């Protein structure tokens, strides 16, 4: 798998050409433009088995039908909530049947719509310890490397904390939480199994692994955080991984794989057993590059 990167700085992730020196962040203008592109319309569709894509084009929202309710991964931007709800209904499902909303990380482009979706569905929101803390603050967590961008949202007050490694059972689906701090202190990746007939695949919703920080934050000044970040990268690389999904679909070539499908039921185009390893390897290189830039800037 080839991980594509673009030379722009966005609030939710940094996608930079390898070896390029990052420009001084200008979060407000870039985020204003990016959120329009991220929230571009996208038809919902089946990924595999009981797993569906229900987000806008630029931000993933993944829906899993457990047989006893729906599990939704991420709520995207505040303005994405209406599109996600419409997509659920278009699939012939009911918004009020969403029982869980599980968050990857508590930035505005992945958690901003959760408060509205929780109100519409009555779902229980689930996140890591640090993720729940940041969600309750509406994205204003001083421990987050991106704190200072000022990209806040309606706080989510009722959040169930999920332990690292905890297995959650809803209907016939078991979802495992994997703490993967780095992009944010509360970043969490999620795994489950989806089946079609007798064929079951390992589904991975791996959180963002980009080392983006607001002005004034240096990863090199936080060696324990960097060490945890590296462990997260290694953890994602080691996951059983048939179909990789990420909060930003472009970070894992998701749309390129979808475009290769010969039919809506073509799973082969989406399957890549090396996808998680490639995603992690690209993240490790990007983190090393960010640390090198910080060292160069300090000279």
Q: Is 133 a catalytic residue?
A: no
- CA pseudo-torsion sign 15, 253, 71, 166: negative
Q: Which one is catalytic: 65, 74, 76, 109? A: 109
178 noted as active-site residue: no
110 in catalytic set: yes
- Cβ–Cβ under 8 Å, residues 125 and 104: no
CA–CA distance, 14 with 3 (Å, rounded to integer): 13
Clarify whether 183 is annotated catalytic: yes
Q: Cα(70)–Cα(91) distance, rounded to whole angstroms?
A: 12
107 has catalytic annotation: yes
**Active-site residue, from 48, 87, 110, 272:** 110
The CA distances from residue 206 to 12, 210, 243, 290, in Å, are 14, 12, 10, 21
Q: Return d(Cα 273, Cα 88) in angstroms, integer.
A: 29
- Catalytic one of 107, 133, 207, 272: 107
Q: How far apart are CA 253 and CA 256, in angstroms?
A: 5
Q: Which of 97, 164, 217, 225 is catalytic?
A: 217
- Pick the catalytic residue from 133, 248, 253, 279: 248
Catalytic residue check, 48:
no
List the catalytic residue out of 48, 53, 76, 105.
105
Instruction: State yes or no: is 225 an active-site residue.
Output: no
Catalytic residue chosen out of the listed positions 183, 205, 253, 279? 183
Q: Which residues are catalytic?
A: 105, 107, 109-110, 183, 217, 248
């Amino acid at each position: 798998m080839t991980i594509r990167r673009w030379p722009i700085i966005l609030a939710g992730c940094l996608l930079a050409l390898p070896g390029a020196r990052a420009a001084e962040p200008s979060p407000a203008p870039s985020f204003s433009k990016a959120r329009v592109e991220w929230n571009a319309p996208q038809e919902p569709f089946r990924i595999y088995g009981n797993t569906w894509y229900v987000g806008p084009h630029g931000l993933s929202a993944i829906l899993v039908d457990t047989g006893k309710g729906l599990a939704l991964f991420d709520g995207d931007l505040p303005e994405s909530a209406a599109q996600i709800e419409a997509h659920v209904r278009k699939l012939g499902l009911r918004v009020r049947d969403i029982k869980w909303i599980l968050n990857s990380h508590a930035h505005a482009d992945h958690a901003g719509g959760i408060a509205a979706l929780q109100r519409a569905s009555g779902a229980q929101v689930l996140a890591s310890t640090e993720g729940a803390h940041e969600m309750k603050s509406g994205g204003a967590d001083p421990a987050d490397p991106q704190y200072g961008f000022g990209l806040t949202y309606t706080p989510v007050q009722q959040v169930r904390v999920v332990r690292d490694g905890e297995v959650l059972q809803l209907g016939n689906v078991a979802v495992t939480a994997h703490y993967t701090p780095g992009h944010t202190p509360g970043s969490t990746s999620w795994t489950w199994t989806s089946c079609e007939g007798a064929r079951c695949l390992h589904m991975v919703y791996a959180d963002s692994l980009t080392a983006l920080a607001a002005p004034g934050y240096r990863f090199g000044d936080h060696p324990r955080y960097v060490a945890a970040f590296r462990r997260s990268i290694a953890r994602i690389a080691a996951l059983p991984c048939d179909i990789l999904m990420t909060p930003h679909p472009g970070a894992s070539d998701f749309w390129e794989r979808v475009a290769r499908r010969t039919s809506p039921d073509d799973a082969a185009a989406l399957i890549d057993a090396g996808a998680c390893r490639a995603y992690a390897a690209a993240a490790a290189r990007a983190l090393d590059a960010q640390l090198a830039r910080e060292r160069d800037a300090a000279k």
